[in-house]
Amino acid sequence: MIKKLKSFVILFIIGVCFFGCQPKQNKAVWTPIFNDKDLNDWQIKISGHPLGENYNNTFRVVDGKMQVNYDYYESFGTSYGHIFYKNPYSTYKLRFQYRFFGEQANDGAEWATKNSGVMLHCQNPESMELNQYFPVSIEVQLLGGMDKGERPTANVCTPGTHIVMENETVTTHCIESTSKTFRGDQWVNVEILVKGNELISHKINGEKVLTYSKPTIGGRVENVKDDVWAAKQGAALKSGYIAFQSESHPVEYKNIEILELK
């Protein structure tokens, strides 16, 4: 009986040491990049206007959300805009929620109805030309469902870039994801994994819907002279800025967070 008791005590001590002395696992630390209060950490660039001019109060904070609104616009024209976070990133996860609301701005393009996006690996906002519509980047295209038909979200579009899918370079501007369609003004959860130039994948409501790799500079940059980017064709996109779009339909974002990866 004493021997059994001693054996039990020894095993108990070994167990305590094994489980209690293990190094603590590092927990994922998500950092908000939008503080729910102001846009002080962001830079705005709207086509036709200088960097830093928030034309017609397009980007604003409303009830703790980053909102893109056009209620001061008489017409949208080509006022395509982006709001850039202050820091560039390379390897990280980005997550947020978005929803469309209200009516599209007057004379906004038909394709831009319930259409916005978050741009990854963006060029530096200071390098944007005055009348440039979209930054050279990888766009996670965010769409809302229409009255009829399917319209997946978290697609990929490639302004001034190319990607690789299934070991082939893709030059088609937009590729659809496998997500379902989200109608109305419901909130949609987005999570994006970015591993430099190696891999990018999109998740919607926790489900992976698209994966691709090896983003590079390539193709035309709309409303920019071709020679500006000609010398950079084929260069790997390994890092860059994060930017949210304004494309003529009101949209808002919340819980914008980043997790930097090693």
Question: How many domains are contained in the chain?
Answer: 1
DSSP 111: G
Residue 122 pLDDT > 80: yes
Query: Residue 180: which of 211, 144, 212 has the closest Cα?
Result: 144
Residue 10 pLDDT > 50: no
Residue 19 within any structural domain of the chain: no
- Whether the Cβ atoms of residue 44 and residue 61 lie closer than 8 Å to each other: no
Cα separation, 217 vs 137, whole angstroms? 8
Cα–Cα distances in angstroms (integers) from residue 146 to residues 1, 105, 112, 139, 150, in the given order: 76, 16, 12, 21, 8
Residue 183 pLDDT > 50: yes
Cα separation, 215 vs 175, whole angstroms? 14
pLDDT in tens, 198-249: 999 999 999 999 999 999 999 888 888 878 888 899 999 999 999 999 999 9
pLDDT at 22: 53
Residue type, 191: E
Mean residue pLDDT of the chain comes to 92
Distance of CA 107 to the CA centre of its chain: 26
pLDDT in tens, 93-120: 999 999 999 999 999 999 999 999 999 9
Residue 89 pLDDT > 80: yes
Between residues 10 and 123, the one the model is more confident about: 123
Residue 6 within any structural domain of the chain: no
Cα separation, 252 vs 144, whole angstroms? 12
Q: Bridge-partner residues for 212, per DSSP?
A: 200
pLDDT band at 92 (very low <50, low <70, confident <90, very high): very high
Residue 17 within any structural domain of the chain: no
Residue 51 pLDDT > 70: yes
Average pLDDT over residues 26-41: 92
Tell me what percent of the residues of the chain surpass a pLDDT of 70.
Answer: 90
- Whether the Cβ atoms of residue 176 and residue 142 lie closer than 8 Å to each other: no
pLDDT at 103: 97
Residue type, 156: V
Cα separation, 220 vs 227, whole angstroms? 10
Residue 251 within any structural domain of the chain: yes
Average pLDDT over residues 12-22: 47
- 21, burial (CB in 10 Å: exposed 0-12, middle 13-18, buried 19+): exposed
Residue 18 within any structural domain of the chain: no
Task: Assign residue 63 a region (left: φ > 0; alpha: ψ between -120 and 50; beta: otherwise).
Answer: left
- Whether the Cβ atoms of residue 161 and residue 217 lie closer than 8 Å to each other: yes
Helices (H), 89-153: none
- Whether the Cβ atoms of residue 162 and residue 169 lie closer than 8 Å to each other: yes
Please report, for the domain that includes residue 218, its CATH number: 2.60.120.560
Residue 10 within any structural domain of the chain: no
pLDDT at 223: 86
pLDDT band at 41 (very low <50, low <70, confident <90, very high): very high
Question: Of the given ranges (37-41, 64-68, 149-153, 224-228), which has the lowest mean pLDDT?
Answer: 224-228
User: In the structure encoding, which two tokens stand for residue 233, read together?
Assistant: 């064709």
Residue 33 pLDDT > 50: yes
Residue 70 within any structural domain of the chain: yes
pLDDT band at 71 (very low <50, low <70, confident <90, very high): very high
Residues 6+ apart with CB under 8 A from 143: 114, 115, 151, 152, 153, 155
Residue 166 pLDDT > 80: yes
Cα separation, 233 vs 244, whole angstroms? 24
> By residue range, what is the domain housing residue 93?
24-260
246: helix, strand or coil: strand
Question: Of the given ranges (6-10, 120-124, 216-220, 247-251), which has the lowest mean pLDDT?
Answer: 6-10
